[in-house]
Amino acid sequence: MTEHDKGAHISTIVSADVWEATCKEIGDGRWNLLALWGDTGLVRMALWDTRENEITLIGLACPEGTFPSVARHHPPALRLERAIKDLFGLVPLDTPDTRPWLDHGRWGVCEPLGQNRPAVAKTPYVFLPAEGESLHKIPVGPVHAGIIEPGHFRFTASGETVVRLEERLGYVHRGIEQLMAGADLPHAAKLAGRVSGDSTVAYQLAFARAAENALGHAAPPRAHWLRALMAEMERIANHLGDIGAICNDASFPLMQAHCGILRERVLRAAGNCFGHRLMRDLIVPGGVTADISAKATDILRRLLDVLQKDLPPLVRLYDNTPSLLERTVGTGILKPKLARQYAAGGYIGRASGRNFDARRMIHYPPYGALNFEVQMRLDGDVNARVWIRILEVKQSIALIRQILDGMPEGNIFAPPPLAGTPREGYALVEGFRGDVFVWLGLDAEGRVRRCHLRDPSWFQWPLLEAAIEGNIVADFPLCNKSFNCSYAGHDL
């Protein structure tokens, strides 16, 4: 079988018994659930084999429009199943939670990716109960006092202590999966870059790799190195922004001011080198659309020097401000057991002892040729998440140096071959927030039949609910910022 033929046979369609057995094994921790999504008449699941370090894709045909619930054995699948029900109308049997998730009854239609029926009158959304004397509810959002993305948070508090937090998301649902259906590859790549603005490089990288995987195509080596360069630039910019924003939420704007300056330097360098500050629409299936000149290399090297000079004083400022550490240390602790169960990616998982980094675990090029250590901590509090970010900024600086030194010459784009037959492909890449998973099915003309983009936030949002429990209401913004989950990427 040649590389080009592989794309046709990526996932295995299994029987209901195998599906059930797999669900049980996920619950036992044998597999990590990477993604669970709907397709026409199918549900699909991507699994991470924790022993073999491999990705396995399975599918289950649902002729009756139902499938055995995964969440019954593995709670992290709950919201994914509710989303499948809302979008495709496929019903999870014996699910612990039958409420809708993304569909707030405001779309005008029902199950837009399935039957696409006209909307029926929705029953009001019922929040989970919390009963007891002296408990009171605090509804927050979806419209907030600051300019941030919309999401509703329902706190049940006893005085200042949070007893339960329940999130309600879906306010920024744009129907990207539906827009993807029928799009040609260049257009679909553009759409992928607009899922979550802060991770546009990660999404376009994941999409391009998935498309290349489907077509059995390999981008030229230089393209891989340029992609990694952009991904690391994006990571540095976002981490710097986050470190500052977390400190600002503890009312310490000095850190934010200085981190903001550094972040701006990174974005300007990106703008000068690639022509776009956020490096959007540069990664396409088959390679990249912009090369960097010798002048751009100089700009980047100078940027790295500035970062290496200016970052340590900031880290010292963070570490030598007791009033700030007083807020971050011990706040919003996420237990390693939960991080493992939810397969939490990014700094959230790595701050709670989950040693997973797609760059290291999957070795997608050029990371196999680069030298770096995955950063991990066990304390799982806000401070740990800040520190993972600081360490990853330093790591990315070192990585960019290696990339600039080792970048091979050659083409940056190789046109992908025609599809010919229906195909499917997937990719898992490390964005700044965690692992981004993309699966796509192509039809014989090479158009996207179905594309699923899974943001790392799907498995991080529920953990925020767990991390805030027992903390005080006033510490929620700090915990939330240290998680910095995506609304747009989640609501899609």
Partner 1 sequence: MVLIDELILQGVQMTGVLLLPPLLLGVTRKIKARLLRRRGASVFQPYRDLLRLLHKRPVMAENASWLFRAAPYLIFAFTWSAAVLVPTFATGLVLGRSADLVAIIALLAAARFVLALAGMDVGTSFGGIGSSREMMIAALAEPAMMMVVFTLALIAGSTQLFAIAAYMASSAVGLRVSLGLSFLALMIVALAENGRIPVDNPATHLELTMVHEAMVLEYSGRYLALIELASAMKLLLYVSLIGCIFLPWTLVPAAGGWGACILSFLFYIGKLTAAGAVLALFETSIAKMRVFRVPDFLNVALMMGLLATLLLFVSKGF
| Residues lying near partner 1 in the complex (CB under 8 A) | 136-140, 144-147, 160, 247, 249-254, 257-258, 261, 321, 323-324, 326-327, 472-477
Nearer to partner 1, 159 or 275 (CB): 159
d(CA 106, CA 215): 38
Nearer to partner 1, 84 or 243 (CB): 243
Nearer to partner 1, 231 or 240 (CB): 240
Shortest reach from residue 113's CB to partner 1, in Å: 36
Shortest reach from residue 271's CB to partner 1, in Å: 21
Shortest reach from residue 259's CB to partner 1, in Å: 11
Shortest reach from residue 250's CB to partner 1, in Å: 4
Nearer to partner 1, 139 or 186 (CB): 139
Shortest reach from residue 464's CB to partner 1, in Å: 14
Nearer to partner 1, 199 or 256 (CB): 256
Shortest reach from residue 137's CB to partner 1, in Å: 7
Nearer to partner 1, 110 or 478 (CB): 478
Nearer to partner 1, 85 or 152 (CB): 152
Shortest reach from residue 485's CB to partner 1, in Å: 16
Cβ-in-10-Å burial (0-12, 13-18, 19+) of 418 comes to: exposed
Nearer to partner 1, 247 or 492 (CB): 247
| φ, ψ at 424 (rounded to 5°) | -140, 155
Shortest reach from residue 254's CB to partner 1, in Å: 6
Nearer to partner 1, 179 or 245 (CB): 245
Shortest reach from residue 327's CB to partner 1, in Å: 6
